[in-house]
């Protein structure tokens, strides 16, 4: 119990990824066995809303897994209105009282962990991760100070044409670009993450990349309907129309009804996969795993995906600052869907990620290897 209290506070408390993109990529069915990376737990809950046959969610951080456990328990225990209030989307005066009722609904370790961080419960758990606090305490106040009137107009813009005019004529420019380069420099990102297990390998120019992607999102996606950009620039969700996928009312009900065999695992993802049987997983939801592993570890991960994956299974992962592509010598086995990857790069509401989507094709690969060994051209 004491060890739980000493765990480092969670890095992520809400979703900075667009689950709609991932669900398009993976096409989850009720027969699928799914393996996911936990992170904030939001993507895992979106996968659970699809009611797959089984779902395993893995993370090396106990706190992130406690958060997933906690979120699922809250979804199952609270009405939809109560849930939004308790999580911090809407006002609530008795969050601690509600949390206290969860002692018999979550593990003792999870209850102790959040009990030791009462401030986060009372603030609203979705607003309280180390990553999220950067936007709540720094980015959103700075935007109000520098671009208060413009962002107020953007929050009420009902068309892309209106939003584009405000952004391109009154925000974008030299000063805006300088802010992005400073706020999202490699040093700033390392300070925000502040986690020795999170390996920040960067093979893109961070500032220029984010300037281009922000220009894309302001010109192609309404902020008022975009959960991540609303949180990023306002430090909150702009109402129920722009909540993360798992928090939309229809998905809240789907999660409650799901009959999925569900397991949460704390540990190293690759080491856990090494213990799994061959052909035991249909769909892989690996988040931006490339941001926290080096190149050699990534190759080991891909090899485990191939070993544990069912034929015709699907892999989806995101790239952010470290663009790790599927190794060229494995392209026959992991057949990349270039068209869908490009479509998601354009459509994704979280804007910063590119996608790697592939189908596992073991049979064709095995046939090719057999023909080679037999000397058949």
Instruction: Say what the pLDDT of residue 364 is.
Output: 56
pLDDT digits (tens, 9 = 90+) for 68-94: 999 999 999 999 999 999 999 999 999
Q: 10-residue block means of pLDDT along the chain (377 residues)?
A: 59 95 97 97 98 98 97 98 98 97 97 97 97 94 97 96 98 95 74 58 76 96 95 94 96 98 97 97 95 89 97 95 87 94 96 95 58 40
pLDDT digits (tens, 9 = 90+) for 164-192: 999 999 999 999 999 998 887 766 666 66
Instruction: Say what the pLDDT of residue 191 is.
Output: 65
How far is residue 31's CA from residue 312's CA, in Å, rounded to a whole number? 13
How far is residue 229's CA from residue 226's CA, in Å, rounded to a whole number? 6
Instruction: Say what the pLDDT of residue 47 is.
Output: 98
Structural domains for the chain: 19-127+246-360 (3.40.50.150), 130-239 (no CATH)
How far is residue 159's CA from residue 241's CA, in Å, rounded to a whole number? 15
Beta-strand pair 54-59/354-360 = unpaired
Instruction: Say what the pLDDT of residue 367 is.
Output: 39
Instruction: Say what the pLDDT of residue 375 is.
Output: 45
Write the DSSP string, 272-307.
Answer: HHHTSPTT-EEEEE-TTGGGSS-HHHHHHHHHHHHH
Which two three-digit tokens encode residue 133?
């606090």
How far is residue 51's CA from residue 88's CA, in Å, rounded to a whole number? 26
How far is residue 304's CA from residue 193's CA, in Å, rounded to a whole number? 27
The angle, 0 to 180 degrees and rounded to 10, between the axes of the packed helices 206-220 and 174-183 is 120
How far is residue 330's CA from residue 54's CA, in Å, rounded to a whole number? 27
Query: Do 72 and 253 contact (CB within 8 A), yes or no?
Result: no
Residue 65's alpha-carbon distances to 44, 69, 70, in angstroms, are 11, 6, 8
Give the 3-state secondary structure of 213-276: HHHHHHHHCCHHHCHHHHHHHHCCCCCHHHCCHHHCHHHHHHHHHCCCEEEEEECCHHHHHHCC
How far is residue 212's CA from residue 221's CA, in Å, rounded to a whole number? 14
Neighbours of 169 (CB within 10 A): 10
Q: Which long-range contacts (CB under 8 A, 24 or more apart) does 131-137 make?
A: 131/11, 131/12, 131/13, 131/16, 131/192, 131/193, 132/12, 132/13, 132/14, 132/231, 134/192, 135/231, 135/232, 135/233, 135/235, 136/235, 136/236, 137/235
């Amino acid at each position: 119990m004491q060890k739980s209290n000493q765990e480092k506070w969670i890095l992520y408390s809400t979703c900075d990824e667009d689950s709609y993109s991932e669900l398009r990529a993976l096409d989850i069915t009720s027969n699928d066995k799914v393996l996911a990376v936990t992170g904030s737990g939001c993507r895992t809950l979106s996968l659970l809303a699809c009611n797959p046959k089984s779902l395993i969610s893995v993370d090396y951080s106990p706190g992130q897994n406690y958060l997933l456990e906690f979120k699922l328990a809250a979804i199952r225990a609270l009405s939809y209105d109560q849930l939004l209030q308790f999580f911090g989307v809407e006002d609530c005066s008795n969050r601690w009282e509600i949390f206290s009722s969860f002692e018999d609904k979550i593990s003792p370790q999870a209850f102790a962990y959040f009990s030791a961080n009462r401030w986060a419960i009372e603030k609203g758990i979705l607003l309280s991760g180390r990553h999220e606090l950067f936007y709540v305490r720094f980015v959103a106040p700075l935007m109000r100070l520098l671009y208060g009137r413009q962002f107020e107009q953007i929050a009420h813009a009902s068309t892309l044409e209106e939003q584009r005019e405000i952004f391109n004529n009154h925000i974008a420019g030299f000063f805006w670009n300088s802010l992005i380069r400073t706020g999202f420099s490699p040093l700033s990102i390392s300070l925000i993450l502040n986690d020795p297990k999170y390996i920040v390998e960067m093979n893109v120019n961070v500032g220029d990349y984010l300037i281009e992607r922000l220009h894309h999102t302001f010109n192609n996606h309404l902020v008022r309907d975009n959960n991540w950009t609303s949180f990023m620039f306002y430090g909150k969700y702009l109402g129920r129309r722009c909540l993360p996928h798992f928090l939309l009312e229809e998905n809240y009900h789907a999660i409650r009804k799901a009959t999925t065999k569900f397991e949460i695992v704390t540990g190293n993802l690759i080491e856990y996969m090494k213990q799994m049987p061959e052909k035991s997983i249909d769909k892989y939801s690996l988040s931006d795993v490339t941001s926290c592993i080096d190149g050699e570890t990534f190759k080991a991960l891909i090899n485990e995906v191939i070993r544990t994956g069912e034929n015709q299974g699907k892999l989806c992962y995101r790239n952010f600052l470290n663009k790790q592509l599927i190794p060229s010598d494995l392209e026959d086995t992991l057949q990349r869907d270039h068209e869908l990857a490009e479509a998601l790069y354009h459509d994704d509401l979280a804007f910063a990620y590119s996608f790697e989507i592939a189908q596992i094709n073991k049979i064709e690969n095995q046939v090719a290897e057999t023909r080679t060994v037999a000397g058949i051209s």
